[in-house]
Structures are given as C-alpha cells and as structure tokens.
C-alpha cells in the first residue's frame, strides 16, 4: 500500500548520514557532488509512495531523478543498504526497541510483467516475492526478494540468518527471535525440527 513521504527530518538525517559512505570530492570544474540527503529523499519518496521515477518531485529538497536512481543502484551493489539497515537495527537493539519474544515471516508478491532480474513465473503470475521477517512490534528485521517460483520454505533460514544488528559492542548481539509465526507457505516439519 502506498504511503506519504515529505522528506527526511533533521533527526532522521542525523542518524542515517553517519552510516553513508563519504560523498565524492569535487575535482575541477563541473557540477558539485550530489547532496545525499536530497538523493535519499527522492529514493524514499519513490519507494514509499510506489510511484514511478518519472513522477518524482523536482527541485527543493528532492534530488535529480537520474542521479537518485544511479545512487540507488550503486548503494545496492556496494552493500550500503545492508550496512545501513544493520546499523539502524543496532541502534534499535541498544535502545531495547526490538521485541525478540515473537516475530513473524510473510511474503508479498510484486508483478513483473516486463521481466527483469529475478522475475519468474509463479502460481500468482510473473513477478518476484518479497519475504520479510518482522519483530513483535512490526519492525522489519530482514528482507529477501526471490523469483515468484522460489519456495517460501527455503527463505526462512536465510531470513533468520541475515538479522545482524550492528551495535558496536563486544560479543554477539541477539540475532534470533524466541518464537516465529508464519503461514503454511513458510511452515514445514523439517523447519520445526531444526528449531532455528
């Protein structure tokens, strides 16, 4: 379901900016380096509202659409998004905001009629499935996307294994919920025996 987004607040930007790679240094003439806050505003606007890149707002607090799209891909490829999520989860863990007692796993189908990387034909049609693990408060702990034909049961252990809050403290941080609820698409006797 599409939501609303009006740009990052100052406190949100203060937290996120600490975990981003340093911006490129301007060398010589030409345009100044991209403003990462404006880039993130545009990326989050597209992801939260569900609109097309062509419909992204211009000027003001928003970055250029082509630049924002390029940084989205660059940060995906270099692991910035994963590090950002792990660092924010680490802050939530330190603030005791993660409810480890109960978690849930569910998936969402996204149609991919035009094709693309990872798009497959599944029983719901051509597309991808987004698998999510959320804590007892509904906070996302990990996300995985697969082709629509991929078994949901095979994603349970990778979802649990990918939870890695970076707290900066020594020793292991808690990574597994006590109880995991999931629908029958994810559940199996073999998983119950493994007791991840």
Q: Where are the beta strands (DSSP E) in the chain?
A: 102-111, 120-122, 125-135, 140-147, 179-182
| pLDDT mean over 27-39 | 82
Q: Can you give the residue ranges of every domain in the chain? A: 10-22+31-78, 99-194
Determine the Cα–Cα distance for residues 112 and 126; give it in Å rounded to an integer: 6
pTM: 0.79
DSSP 64-95: PHHHHHHHHHHHHHTTHHHHHHHHHHHHHHHT
Mind listing the pLDDT tens digit for each residue in 140-189?
999 988 888 888 888 888 998 888 888 888 876 667 888 889 888 888 77
Q: Which is more confident, 10 or 1?
A: 10
């Amino acid at each position: 379901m599409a939501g609303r987004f009006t740009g990052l607040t100052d406190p949100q930007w203060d937290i996120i900016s600490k975990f981003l790679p340093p911006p490129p240094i301007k060398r010589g003439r030409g345009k100044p380096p991209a403003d990462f806050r404006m880039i993130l505003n545009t990326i989050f606007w597209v992801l939260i509202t569900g609109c097309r890149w062509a419909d992204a707002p211009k000027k003001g607090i928003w970055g250029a659409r082509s630049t924002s799209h390029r940084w989205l891909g660059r940060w995906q490829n270099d692991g910035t998004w994963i590090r950002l999520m792990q660092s924010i989860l680490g802050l939530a863990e330190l603030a005791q905001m993660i409810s480890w007692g109960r978690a849930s796993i569910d998936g969402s189908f996204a149609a991919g009629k035009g094709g693309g990387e990872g798009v497959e034909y599944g029983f719901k049609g051509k597309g991808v499935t987004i698998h999510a693990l959320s804590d007892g408060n509904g906070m996302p702990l990990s996300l995985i996307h697969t082709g629509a034909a991929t078994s949901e049961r095979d994603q349970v252990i990778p979802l649990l294994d990918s939870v890695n809050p970076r707290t900066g403290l020594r020793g292991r941080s808690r990574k597994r919920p006590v109880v995991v609820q999931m629908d029958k698409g994810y559940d199996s006797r073999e998983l119950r025996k493994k007791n991840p």
